[in-house]
């Protein structure tokens, strides 16, 4: 490897990496008014990472064991190529340790890498501003390693190999807000050298490798004034021929102090304009000609549903209605009827049935089957325990199909007083109705009628017939 590159990499010790991390953080903090989420207009970004590394080679493997985590970290420069691709340049340093039986490895390394990132959050697979965005990485780099330990031949070693490597990995980007993102990623490095664990058993197979797990922050940068062609030439004097400070845009803020010297602006925004007077300067305002709120980056949200008008396909949604990511009323079951109008919002149904599903034959059969398994204690309107299991299932059907209307009919045999039998049958029908309502059914869709002994289905001349006549029936009205 080139000596100058090797020297640069060796400067990136762990101590220096952490120092770079801290310096970069405070530099970004000082420029916080110019960081935004990365788009085709905001192509550049700076990343800071904390990492841990794991070894695999001639001595064994520690991949995904996290038995002896070794710290490291680095910084990156990120450039947006297209909705699907980014290019990232990394500088990093870290440590790899491994101990097993009588063998050992202690290594420090520094590396410079160049990666191509394929993003699934490209508005084709996932939205570009999705909360969670997966991506893949492919790249190459140059690594300098200092290692020592005991190799396979039980001999001590101390090595300083340098060489190139290939790498591949995957990660997740978490879009926190319009200022920064958090990333979690893992990359496997394949060094072209097989000689840093003191056991170069087969130099041609590149067996020695390491795995990197990282978490980091990425901040994206935007120029303070997008009109680059109109920026002042600061090589010219800052005063006119009378000695007065120049004020090119005539906003009473001298050019030397004006952050937007070619546009008339306000003093509170350091000379930059606020065209729509919403308290957000145009360079920070995604909708500079329409008044909006700072939480929406200066864009209006007319119906206050959390989706700004420029992305809202239904900008006049009524208050209180749940919306989807397009700002339109949510249709959870995707049956064409929005939730707030859907009689069964979690079950696909028919538009002509107000979102409720059509009653199929199996459901009707289940209702009638339940009726055959409803029993009471002799001479009583108290439900048997075995009946409750079937009524629970019926109650769930009535919840899932909220447009079903049932008539609950109570019947008796001809034993005893006719009027008392009618009263008992009414009490039993009422008991079933009350139980179903208790389990979630709509009382407005239920009707209980006691017919007593007036509608037998078998002869009352024998015990078998009388048993069949003591029953509850469900009649589907609608």
pLDDT (tens digit per residue) in 177-193: 767 789 999 999 888 87
Scanning the structure block, which residue is given the tokens 């953080």?
A: 25
Q: What angle do CA 154, 160, 163 make, to 5 degrees?
A: 115
End-to-end CA distance of the chain: 83
- Residue 5: pLDDT over 50: no
Confidence of residue 29 (pLDDT cuts 50, 70, 90): very low
DSSP track, 55-84 = EEETTEE-TTT-SS-EEEEEEEEEEE-SSS
- Residue 90: pLDDT over 90: yes
Distance in angstroms (rounded) separating the CA atoms of residues 445 and 403 = 8
Residues whose CB is less than 8 angstroms from the CB of residue 221 and which lie 6 or more positions away in sequence, other chains included: 31, 34, 35, 36, 42, 44, 45, 46
Residues 461-478 have a mean pLDDT of 79
Residue with the bigger pLDDT between 120 and 354: it is 120
Distance in angstroms (rounded) separating the CA atoms of residues 136 and 116 = 8
Least confident among 32-41, 72-81, 84-93, 171-180: 32-41
Residue with the bigger pLDDT between 314 and 6: it is 314
Cβ density class 250-264: b for 16+ within 10 Å, e for less: ebebbbeebbbbbbb
Residues whose CB is less than 8 angstroms from the CB of residue 326 and which lie 6 or more positions away in sequence, other chains included: 307, 311, 312, 313, 314
Residues whose CB is less than 8 angstroms from the CB of residue 323 and which lie 6 or more positions away in sequence, other chains included: 305, 306, 307, 314, 317, 329, 330
- Residue 109: pLDDT over 70: yes
Question: Any idea what DSSP says for residue 33?
Answer: G
Distance in angstroms (rounded) separating the CA atoms of residues 173 and 182 = 6
CB 227 within 8 A of CB 273: no
Quote the pLDDT of residue 20. Answer: 52
CB 408 within 8 A of CB 449: yes
Least confident among 175-189, 230-244, 250-264, 344-358: 230-244
Residue with the bigger pLDDT between 137 and 312: it is 137
Quote the pLDDT of residue 104. Answer: 81
What DSSP element (H or E) covers 106? strand 103-119
Quote the pLDDT of residue 15. Answer: 47
Question: Any idea what DSSP says for residue 454?
Answer: S
Q: What percent of the chain is modeled with pLDDT above 70?
A: 82
Question: Any idea what DSSP says for residue 245?
Answer: B
Quote the pLDDT of residue 441. Answer: 87
Q: Sheet holding 406-411: strands in order across?
A: 446-452, 406-411, 471-476
- Residue 116: pLDDT over 60: yes
CA dihedral 341, 344, 348, 351 (to 10 degrees): -40
CB 141 within 8 A of CB 191: no
Tokens of 391: 């009524």
Model confidence over 146-170: pLDDT tens digits?
888 877 777 788 888 888 889 999 9
Least confident among 23-27, 155-159, 345-349, 370-374: 23-27
Domains in the chain (CATH in brackets) are 3-221 (2.40.160.20), 361-476 (3.30.1330.60)
Confidence of residue 103 (pLDDT cuts 50, 70, 90): confident
Residues whose CB is less than 8 angstroms from the CB of residue 260 and which lie 6 or more positions away in sequence, other chains included: 224, 225, 249, 269, 270, 271, 272, 273, 283
Distance in angstroms (rounded) separating the CA atoms of residues 170 and 187 = 7
Q: How far is CA 234 from the centre of its chain?
A: 46
Distance in angstroms (rounded) separating the CA atoms of residues 262 and 234 = 13
Residue 133: count other Cβ atoms within 10 Å of its Cβ. 21
CB 399 within 8 A of CB 407: no
Output the furthest CA–CA distance in the chain (Å, rounded).
126
Distance in angstroms (rounded) separating the CA atoms of residues 34 and 19 = 23
Residues 55-66 have a mean pLDDT of 78
Range with top average pLDDT, 22-31, 146-155, 247-256, 295-304: 295-304
Count Cα atoms within 13 angstroms, Cβ side, for 475: 10
Residues 37-41 have a mean pLDDT of 47
Least confident among 43-57, 272-286, 288-302, 460-474: 460-474
CB 404 within 8 A of CB 398: yes
Model confidence over 398-456: pLDDT tens digits?
888 887 888 888 888 888 888 888 888 898 889 889 988 998 888 898 898 888 888 88
- Residue 38: pLDDT over 60: no
Name 398's bridge partners.
none
Q: What is the CA radius of gyration of the chain?
A: 37
Mapping DSSP to helix (H, G, I), strand (E, B) and coil, where does residue 212 land? strand
Tokens of 313: 């396909």
**Summary mean pLDDT of the chain:** 79
- Residue 40: pLDDT over 60: no
> Could you tell me where the DSSP H helices lie in 186-289?
none
Confidence of residue 396 (pLDDT cuts 50, 70, 90): confident
């Amino acid at each position: 490897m080139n000596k100058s590159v090797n020297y640069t990499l060796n400067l990136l010790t762990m101590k220096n990496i952490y120092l770079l991390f801290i310096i970069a953080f405070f530099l970004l903090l000082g420029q916080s008014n110019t960081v935004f989420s990365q788009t085709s207009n905001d192509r550049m970004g700076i990343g800071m990472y904390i990492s841990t590394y794991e070894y695999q080679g001639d001595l064994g493997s520690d991949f995904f064991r996290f038995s002896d985590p070794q710290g490291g970290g680095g910084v990156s420069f990120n450039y947006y190529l297209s909705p699907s691709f980014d290019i990232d340049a990394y500088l990093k340093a870290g440590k790899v340790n491994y101990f097993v039986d009588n063998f050992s490895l202690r290594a420090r390394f520094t590396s410079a890498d160049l990666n191509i990132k394929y993003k699934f959050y490209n508005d084709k697979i996932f939205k570009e501003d999705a909360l969670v965005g997966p991506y893949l990485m492919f790249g190459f780099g140059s690594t300098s390693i200092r290692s020592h330990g005991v190799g396979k031949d039980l001999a001590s070693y101390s090595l300083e190999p340098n060489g190139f490597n290939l790498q591949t990995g995957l990660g997740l980007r978490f879009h926190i807000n319009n200022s920064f993102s958090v990333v979690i990623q893992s990359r496997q490095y394949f060094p072209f050298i097989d000689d840093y664990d003191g056991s170069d058993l087969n130099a041609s197979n590149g067996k020695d490798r390491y795995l990197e797990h990282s978490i980091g922050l990425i901040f994206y940068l935007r120029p303070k004034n997008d009109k680059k062609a109109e920026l002042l030439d600061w090589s010219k004097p800052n005063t006119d021929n009378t000695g007065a400070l120049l004020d090119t845009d005539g906003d009473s803020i001298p050019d030397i102090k004006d952050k937007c010297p070619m546009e008339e602006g306000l003093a509170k925004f350091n000379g930059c304009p606020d065209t729509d007077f919403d308290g957000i300067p145009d360079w920070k305002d995604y909708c500079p000609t329409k008044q909006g709120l700072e939480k929406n980056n200066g864009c209006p949200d007319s119906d206050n549903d959390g989706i700004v008008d420029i992305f809202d396909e239904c900008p006049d949604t009524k208050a209180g209605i749940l919306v989807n990511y397009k700002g339109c009323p949510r249709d959870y079951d995707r049956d064409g009827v929005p939730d707030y109008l859907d009689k069964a919002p979690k079950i696909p149904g028919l538009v002509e049935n107000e979102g409720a599903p059509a009653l199929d034959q199996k459901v009707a059969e289940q209702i009638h089957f339940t009726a055959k398994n409803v029993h009471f204690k002799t001479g009583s309107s108290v439900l048997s325990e075995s009946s409750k299991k079937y009524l629970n299932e019926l109650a769930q059907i009535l919840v899932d199909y909220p447009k079903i209307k049932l008539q609950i009919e109570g019947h008796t045999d001809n034993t005893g007083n006719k009027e008392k039998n009618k009263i008992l049958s009414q009490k039993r029908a009422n008991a079933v109705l009350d139980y179903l309502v208790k389990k979630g059914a709509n009382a407005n869709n239920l009707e209980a009628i006691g017919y007593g002994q007036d509608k037998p289905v078998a002869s009352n001349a024998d015990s078998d017939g009388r048993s069949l006549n003591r029953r509850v029936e469900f009649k589907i009205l609608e």
